[in-house]
């Protein structure tokens, strides 16, 4: 930060606030707060700004939307539906689309913002996971994030269900089926939620209250907590020169970060408004009003529910009849198992990792994904699992557009959803280990410079340049795995009491998984070929070669290719 | 162009170009939507001469699969009693003569012209029964009630042909074709004859008046502009999700990379 005085308008404004609220002391520290700079650190901000846009556009829509299932005859600008009896919810959504100035744009902004909100939460979560940014001290914020993700999915589903169009109704029908499939209490849950037979007059108004009041309120509170914790704990940063657990390198909150983040809000708004202007979303006038006897090809939920839809589509038709009660595994399993596996797994992961590795240190430096092969591989296996279910949710579109037989897609997904994650796990692990080896080789042998030198003996070798300072700091950042306390054997080979029992064995196995594929970095084993190193650059006396070789440092290492 | 040279050497420039290219391809593909309509006149006057000419055409182009007397073979069904409407539908959409038998015969460029189609239809109709080619007034969208048609379409057609008639997948490699090219006459004929995987909607299930309403709905829907921008193929949330990820997240990631990119140094000697 420079020491020059700020421009007069800012100075005046700060002075005004300080005179009244004595904010200068408070702000002085906050303004200097350093934020590490990396594009992937801004992914969460897309979610934040989409959420702001969702709140504002949603408020606009709520001025005209009528959450009512009362039947009315449509007489509006969209003549193709003239005289059709529809619900008031559908009628008012059509009115917003065609008769309210700017209404269609607002609807499309709201919906595209929802898509971007969920998508950015997902990429943000993946960034956090793969860089280990959920580790101590950030576990609680990770849990808050998962809670918000779950709430956002629900919020999206509710919003999708409100206009009472053909796809909304189809989605609600599935929601009803899922509620009913819950053993013992299912029927009661369904009647409590819907207040009678499907679809009924109660559910849409109830959904509306939850959609505009309860969930946004919860989300707002959690967003605030999420950001405050982030501010308090500081942002993680990627390893590099001058970066450590105790130092932060980056830009000050004021003015650089503030300007950047404001610009990023405008970018988010521009992208959402651009999509809303040029790409039609949720054309409920084409879907038509919902009637329980109608259905359309291409009945899909919005993308964030797609993996559940996919699970439902590929699930075999299993049912059990017990004492006159049917347990519909065909609905229960796809509704609960993938969601439960992914969300519960993600929520527990930081604690499993701590337990298995015994690593309870504070981490402010993000991991490079390759340096945590087990985590990265499990992550990719999960991504594959999710991705395949997601694709399965669009199996009819895939079958239609790519000319694959529909039943084949079902079977392909049934098999790959089980096998795929294992393949992804294996491939990712090999890639991680390969990258680690290449890192280690770079540290030990230097970087291939692309310059071929002829030795006096006539031998050709490639000049290796030592790794640059910053790159070396990155390479050397690879953390040493924390040792598992008292899990081993003593000098007599007697296992310690803490290492016995099934739980301890599981812990040991997990610990092994976390730490096994660890390639040592830069242990100075040189080229390992036991041959003397040649340190004379530019042996053929060519000037340009010499220049190139001397430029970066004072000695160059030549090694045999 | 110095800035450009510096820009394209940035570490993320390659990713940015690939992302931008993907986004552009996605948008262009989604934006390209077919729309041409074809009018067709149907002449119902039939003479003995037409029947004879139709027989000659049949021998030449159809008999190898359907049998010399249209009695059907192992590869193709009998055509006795299918009626003129069926012939007109299959031949005017180019489905017949078929090129190779698969799960479903696709629509293609028609081989026989209107006159030949009429003669062929006359011959098949002369073999006995079957629905005739509908009159022009029966299929006139201008006389159909599209609101009623919409209701009927959603109850009877949308589950295969999609809410906007964009088509959809069926089992066993079959599919419900998109309705963007079908003429009003062809839509009527398809309903009354039930070609390939399609069920027959006879006049007691869906009355001629209702059929005309459905035709009105289909033709109005496909000629209707998308008020919200590109229709994204009118296939529903799958295309929307794809656009959201490719364009939305794609552009945002590029923006984030741009905002956090360090200024390139003047000298490249560090």
A residues 265-324 closer than 8 Å to B (CB): 267-268, 271-272, 274-283, 286-288, 291, 293-303, 306
B99: pLDDT strictly greater than 50: yes
Given an 8 Å threshold on Cβ–Cβ distance, is A286 in contact with B259?
Answer: no
Q: What pLDDT is recorded for position A508?
A: 83
Q: What pLDDT is recorded for position A472?
A: 86
What percent of chain A stands above pLDDT 70?
90
What distance lies between CA A294 and its chain's CA centroid? Answer: 36
pLDDT tens per residue across span A141-157:
999 999 999 999 999 99
How many residues are there in chain A?
561
Q: What pLDDT is recorded for position A532?
A: 42
Instruction: Return the residue of B nearest to A302 by Cα.
Output: B237
Cis preceding linkage at B97, omega within 30: yes
**Which whole-number Å values give the CA distances from A221 to A133, A217, A372, in the listed order?**
22, 6, 33
Q: How many C-alpha atoms does B245 have within 13 Å on its Cβ side?
A: 12
Q: What pLDDT is recorded for position A35?
A: 86
Assign domain A36-357 to a CATH class.
mainly alpha
pLDDT tens per residue across span A333-359:
999 999 999 999 999 999 999 998 888
Q: What pLDDT is recorded for position A9?
A: 81
A531: pLDDT strictly greater than 60: no
DSSP three-state, residue A403: coil
Name every chain A residue with its beta carbon within 8 A of the beta carbon of B217. Answer: 80
Calculate how close chain A gets to B184, using CA atoms only, in Å.
18
Q: What pLDDT is recorded for position A361?
A: 87
B193: pLDDT strictly greater than 60: yes
- Pick B167's closest partner by Cβ from A38, A79, A400: A400
Q: What pLDDT is recorded for position A106?
A: 97
| pLDDT-based confidence at residue A488 (cuts at 50, 70, 90) | low
Q: Is A251 on the interface with B (CB under 8 A)?
A: no
Domains of chain B: 39-133 (1.10.760.10)
Q: What pLDDT is recorded for position A480?
A: 75
- In chain A, residues under CATH classification 1.20.810.10 are 36-357
A319: pLDDT strictly greater than 60: yes
φ and ψ at residue A188, rounded to 5 degrees: -65, -45
Q: What pLDDT is recorded for position B38?
A: 37
Q: What pLDDT is recorded for position A535?
A: 44
- Per DSSP, helices labelled H in chain B are 2-8, 13-31, 48-61, 63-66, 83-92, 114-126, 146-156, 158-161, 184-193, 208-223, 237-243, 250-260
**What is the C-alpha separation between A467 and A445, in angstroms, rounded?**
9
Name every chain A residue with its beta carbon within 8 A of the beta carbon of B243. Answer: 275, 279
Q: What pLDDT is recorded for position A526?
A: 45
| pLDDT-based confidence at residue B101 (cuts at 50, 70, 90) | confident
Q: What pLDDT is recorded for position B268?
A: 52
B35: pLDDT strictly greater than 50: no
Q: What is the mean pLDDT of residues A233-245?
A: 85
Dihedral sign for Cα atoms in the order A269, A274, A280, A283 = positive
Q: Do A432 and A516 meet the contact criterion of CB atoms below 8 Å apart?
A: no
Given an 8 Å threshold on Cβ–Cβ distance, is B228 in contact with A83?
Answer: no
Q: Which of A121, A127, A126, A123 is nearest to A145 (CA)?
A: A121
Calculate how close chain A gets to B35, using CA atoms only, in Å.
17
**What is the C-alpha separation between A268 and A62, in angstroms, rounded?**
22
Given an 8 Å threshold on Cβ–Cβ distance, is A116 in contact with B252?
Answer: yes
Q: What is the mean pLDDT of residues B157-165?
A: 93
Q: What is the mean pLDDT of residues A99-122?
A: 96
Most B CBs within 10 Å, among A157, A283, A401, to test the B interface: A283
φ and ψ at residue B258, rounded to 5 degrees: -65, -45
Burial of A467 (0-12, 13-18, 19+ CB in 10 A): buried
Q: Which of A13, A316, A22, A299 is nearest to A167 (CA)?
A: A299
Name every chain A residue with its beta carbon within 8 A of the beta carbon of B237. Answer: 167, 282, 300-303
Of A49-63, A521-535, B239-253, give the lowest mean pLDDT range: A521-535
B180: left (phi over 0), alpha (psi -120 to 50) or beta: alpha
A550: pLDDT strictly greater than 50: no
Q: What pLDDT is recorded for position A517?
A: 77
Of A79-93, A445-459, A471-485, B100-114, give the lowest mean pLDDT range: A471-485
Name every chain A residue with its beta carbon within 8 A of the beta carbon of B229. Answer: 108, 276-280
pLDDT tens per residue across span B75-93:
888 998 898 999 999 999 9
Given an 8 Å threshold on Cβ–Cβ distance, is B230 in contact with A39?
Answer: no
Q: Is A263 on the interface with B (CB under 8 A)?
A: yes
Q: Which residues contact B201 (CB under 8 A, 6 or more apart)?
A: B156, B191, B192, B194, B211
Q: Which of A90, A63, A65 is nearest to A76 (CA)?
A: A90
User: Which of B188 and A517 is assigned the larger pLDDT?
Assistant: B188
Q: What pLDDT is recorded for position A482?
A: 66
Q: What pLDDT is recorded for position B98?
A: 87
| DSSP per position, A453-522 | EE-TTS-EEEEEEPPPHHHHHHHTTPPPPPPPTT-SB-TTSPBPGGG-SHHHHHHHHHHHHHHSS-PPP-
- Pick A281's closest partner by Cβ from B161, B172, B228: B228
| DSSP per position, B21-59 | HHHHHHHHHHH----------------HHHHHHHHHHHH
Q: Which of A391, A375, A377 is nearest to A421 (CA)?
A: A377
Instruction: Return the residue of A nearest to B154 by Cα.
Output: A294
Q: Is A443 on the interface with B (CB under 8 A)?
A: no
* Two structure tokens written together for B171: 């089992």
Q: What pLDDT is recorded for position A39?
A: 92
């Amino acid at each position: 930060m420079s020491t020059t005085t700020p421009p007069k308008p800012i100075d005046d404004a700060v002075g005004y606030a300080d005179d009244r609220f004595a904010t200068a002391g408070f702000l002085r520290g906050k303004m200097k707060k350093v934020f590490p700079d990396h594009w992937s650190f801004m992914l969460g901000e897309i979610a934040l700004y989409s959420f702001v846009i969702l709140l504002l556009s949603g408020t606009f829509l709520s001025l005209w939307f009528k959450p009512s299932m009362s039947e009315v005859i449509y007489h509006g600008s969209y003549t193709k539906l003239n005289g059709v009896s529809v619900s008031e919810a559908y009628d008012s959504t059509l009115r917003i689309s065609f008769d309210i100035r700017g209404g269609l744009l607002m609807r499309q902004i709201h919906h595209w913002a929802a898509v971007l909100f969920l998508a950015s939460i997902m990429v943000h979560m993946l960034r956090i996971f793969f860089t280990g940014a959920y580790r101590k001290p950030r576990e609680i914020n990770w849990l808050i994030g998962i809670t918000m993700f779950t709430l956002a999915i629900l919020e999206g589903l509710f919003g999708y269900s409100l206009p009472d169009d053909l796809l909304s109704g189809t989605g609600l029908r599935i929601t009803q089926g899922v509620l009913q499939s819950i053993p013992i209490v299912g029927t009661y849950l369904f009647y409590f939620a819907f207040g009678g037979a499907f679809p009924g007059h109660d559910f849409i108004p109830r959904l509306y209250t939850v959609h505009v009041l309860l969930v946004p309120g919860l989300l707002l509170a959690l967003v605030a907590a999420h950001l405050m914790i982030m501010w308090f704990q500081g942002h993680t940063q990627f390893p590099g020169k001058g970066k450590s657990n105790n130092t932060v390198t980056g830009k000050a909150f004021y003015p650089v970060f503030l300007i950047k983040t404001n610009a990023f809000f405008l970018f988010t708004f521009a992208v959402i408004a651009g999509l809303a202007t040029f790409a039609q979303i949720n054309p409920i006038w084409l879907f038509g009003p919902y009637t329980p006897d109608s259905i359309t090809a291409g009945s899909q939920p919005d993308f964030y529910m797609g993996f559940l839809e996919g699970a439902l589509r590929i699930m075999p038709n299993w049912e059990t009849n017990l004492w006159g009660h049917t347990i519909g595994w065909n609905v229960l399993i796809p509704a609960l198992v993938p969601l439960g596996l992914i969300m519960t797994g993600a929520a527990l992961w930081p604690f499993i990792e701590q337990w298995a590795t015994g690593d309870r240190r504070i981490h402010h430096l993000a991991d490079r994904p390759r340096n945590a092969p087990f985590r990265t591989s499990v992550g990719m296996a999960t991504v594959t699992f999710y991705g395949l279910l997601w694709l399965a949710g669009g199996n009819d579109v895939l079958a239609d557009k790519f000319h694959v037989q529909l039943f084949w897609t079902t079977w392909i997904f049934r098999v790959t959803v089980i096998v795929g994650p294992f393949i992804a796990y294996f491939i990712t692990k090999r890639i991680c280990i390969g990258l680690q080896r290449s890192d280690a080789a770079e540290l030990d042998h230097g970087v291939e410079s692309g310059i071929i030198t002829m030795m006096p003996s006539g031998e050709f070798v490639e000049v290796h340049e030592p790794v640059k300072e910053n790159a070396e700091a990155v390479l050397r950042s690879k953390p040493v795995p924390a040792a598992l306390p008292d899990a081993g054997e003593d000098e007599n080979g007697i296992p310690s009491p803490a290492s016995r029992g099934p739980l301890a064995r599981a812990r040991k196995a997990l610990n092994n998984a976390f730490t096994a594929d660890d390639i040592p970095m830069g242990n100075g084993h040189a080229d390992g070929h036991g041959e003397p190193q040649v340190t004379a650059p530019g042996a053929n006396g060519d000037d340009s070669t010499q220049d190139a070789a001397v430029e970066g440092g004072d000695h160059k290492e030549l090694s045999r290719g | 162009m110095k800035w450009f040279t510096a820009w394209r050497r940035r570490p993320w420039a390659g990713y940015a170009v690939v992302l931008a290219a993907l986004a552009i391809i996605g948008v262009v593909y989604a934006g390209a939507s077919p729309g041409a309509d074809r009018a067709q006149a149907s002449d119902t006057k039939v003479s003995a001469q037409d029947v004879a000419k139709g027989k000659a055409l049949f021998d030449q182009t159809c008999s190898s699969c359907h049998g010399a007397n249209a009695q059907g073979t192992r590869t193709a069904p009998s055509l006795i009693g299918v009626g003129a409407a069926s012939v007109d539908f299959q031949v005017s959409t180019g489905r017949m003569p078929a090129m190779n038998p698969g799960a479903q015969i696709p629509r293609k460029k028609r081989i026989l012209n209107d006159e030949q189609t009429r003669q062929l239809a006359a011959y098949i109709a002369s073999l006995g029964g079957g629905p005739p080619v509908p009159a022009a007034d029966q299929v006139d969208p201008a006389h159909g009630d599209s609101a009623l048609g919409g209701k009927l379409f959603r109850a009877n057609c949308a589950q295969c042909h999609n809410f906007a008639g964009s088509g959809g997948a069926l089992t066993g490699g079959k599919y419900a074709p998109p309705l963007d090219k079908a003429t009003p006459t062809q839509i009527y004929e398809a309903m009354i004859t039930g070609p390939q995987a399609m069920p027959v909607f006879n006049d007691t299930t869906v009355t001629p008046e209702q059929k005309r309403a459905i035709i009105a709905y289909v033709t109005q829907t496909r000629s209707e502009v998308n008020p919200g921008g590109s229709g994204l193929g009118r296939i529903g949330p799958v295309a929307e999700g794809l656009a959201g990820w490719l364009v939305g997240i794609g552009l945002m990631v590029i923006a984030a990379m741009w905002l956090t990119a360090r200024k390139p140094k003047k000298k490249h000697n560090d």
